[in-house]
Amino acid sequence: MKKGEMRMQIIWQDETKEKMTVNEKNGVTFLTYPKLSKIPWAVHGFSTRLGGVSKGMYASMNLSFARGDEEADVRENYRRLSEAMGFSMEDLVTSDQTHTTNVRIVGEADRGNGITKPRPYQDVDGMITDVPGLVLSTFYADCVPLYFVDTVHRAVGLSHSGWRGTVGKIGAVTVQKMREAYGTRPEDILAAVGPSICQACYEVSEDVAEEFQKSFAREQWDSLFYRKDNGKFQLNLWEANRLIFLEAGILPEHISMPNLCTCCNPEFLFSHRASKGKRGNLGAFLGNKRGMLFLQHPLMCYFLFTFFMSPMILALLERTFSTETSWLMMSMMLARYLLMFAST
């Protein structure tokens, strides 16, 4: 794939609905959500096939070390993508996806897991953290990425939801885990369903449909699947996960939908079904930016305000005091803010 292919035609599911933002930086193309992009302390994104160095069926931004691609190419892909999205690849923490509903609390000791060092865990399809600088990463090629951002406690969650994870309602499991770990309230969460396979492309067998019948209320079935003449079903994972978000207490206006199908866009996004398994992996990324907590502390805001307003404040002080006294008072004021900040 070539750099200019960012301008390829993208097939959106509904041209009248909100679309993800298509970003290009240093030749790397990635996707973001308008709502999540407004959160100043969070970093997020979803990769595409464009901007990497992998070749053949992995072309070109493959993020899987386990599908037969050259390790050096995959590492270069991570380096390029991380730089474009605005974080360091050394800060990544990756999942070990096996279609479970296991959600792991990620801490400082996990930094680099799956990238700079082996993962010390298995069977992890979801992760949550409130550690500044850590960036969670999960992987896809038709399954559903789920993003969670607690706008009050500055905690984030990222979960992988295939049909098994959706039946198990890993979205609700993630919300509950964030509630227990960080005091997260569902109404404070901004959530998103990521690019994945749409209902029109996702044919499943009757046994899969039966699992959804067991997990979802009867009145929801018509919005989730329908039977075809061949006895198969078309399944709507997007709507299923939206319903799970709502049942978990997330407000409808806080939910972003992908409007973008992996299977409908096989040149832009990896799709297991479209490629019949000959493909690389996409990545979802979500984290808490380094240094943002420092800037958001109230005392630091006072310090910065005083610092930038110092010429005006000095001018006012000098009307009453000498220049030397005014400078001393200003210095003491700034030092007091810094000492108060350091003690909190």
- DSSP character string of 130-145: --TT-EEEEEESSSEE
Helix (H, G, I), strand (E, B) or coil at 256: strand
Range list of β-strands (E), the chain = 21-25, 28-32, 42-47, 92-94, 103-105, 126-129, 135-140, 144-150, 155-161, 189-193, 203-204, 225-227, 233-235, 255-256, 282-288
pLDDT digits 0-9 by tens, 153-190: 999 999 999 999 999 999 999 999 999 999 999 999 99
Own/partner pairs, 182-185, CB within 8 angstroms, 24+ separation: 182/128, 182/130, 182/150, 182/153, 182/155, 183/153, 184/150, 184/152, 184/153, 184/155, 185/150, 185/152, 185/249
pLDDT digits 0-9 by tens, 4-48: 444 679 999 999 999 999 999 999 999 999 999 999 999 999 999
What's the pTM?
0.86
Domains of the chain, each with CATH number or no CATH:
3-291 (3.60.140.10), 297-342 (no CATH)
pLDDT digits 0-9 by tens, 303-332: 555 555 556 655 665 566 666 775 676 677
Could you tell me the two tokens for 186? Answer: 């569902």
The type of residue at 49 is: R
Average pLDDT value for residue range 83-105: 98
Distance of CA 236 to the CA centre of its chain: 21
Q: Which residues pair with 226 in a beta bridge?
A: 234
For the ranges 4-8, 79-83, 201-205, 236-240, the lowest mean pLDDT is seen at 4-8
User: What pLDDT, on the 0 to 100 scale, is given for residue 333?
Assistant: 67
Q: Which residues pair with 232 in a beta bridge?
A: none
Number of CB atoms found within 10 A of residue 3's CB: 14
Distance of CA 6 to the CA centre of its chain: 21
Whole-number Cα distances in Å, 217 to 23, 136, 235, 257: 39, 32, 15, 22
User: What pLDDT, on the 0 to 100 scale, is given for residue 332?
Assistant: 72
User: What pLDDT, on the 0 to 100 scale, is given for residue 81?
Assistant: 98
Contacts of 107 (CB under 8 A, 6+ apart): 129, 131
User: What pLDDT, on the 0 to 100 scale, is given for residue 294?
Assistant: 47
Distance of CA 69 to the CA centre of its chain: 24
Which residue from 14, 13, 40, 10 is spatially nearest to 23, judged by alpha carbons?
10
Given the structure tokens 């029109």, which residue do they identify? 200
| CA pair distance 27, 84, nearest whole angstrom | 9
Q: What percentage of the chain reaches a pLDDT higher than 70? A: 83
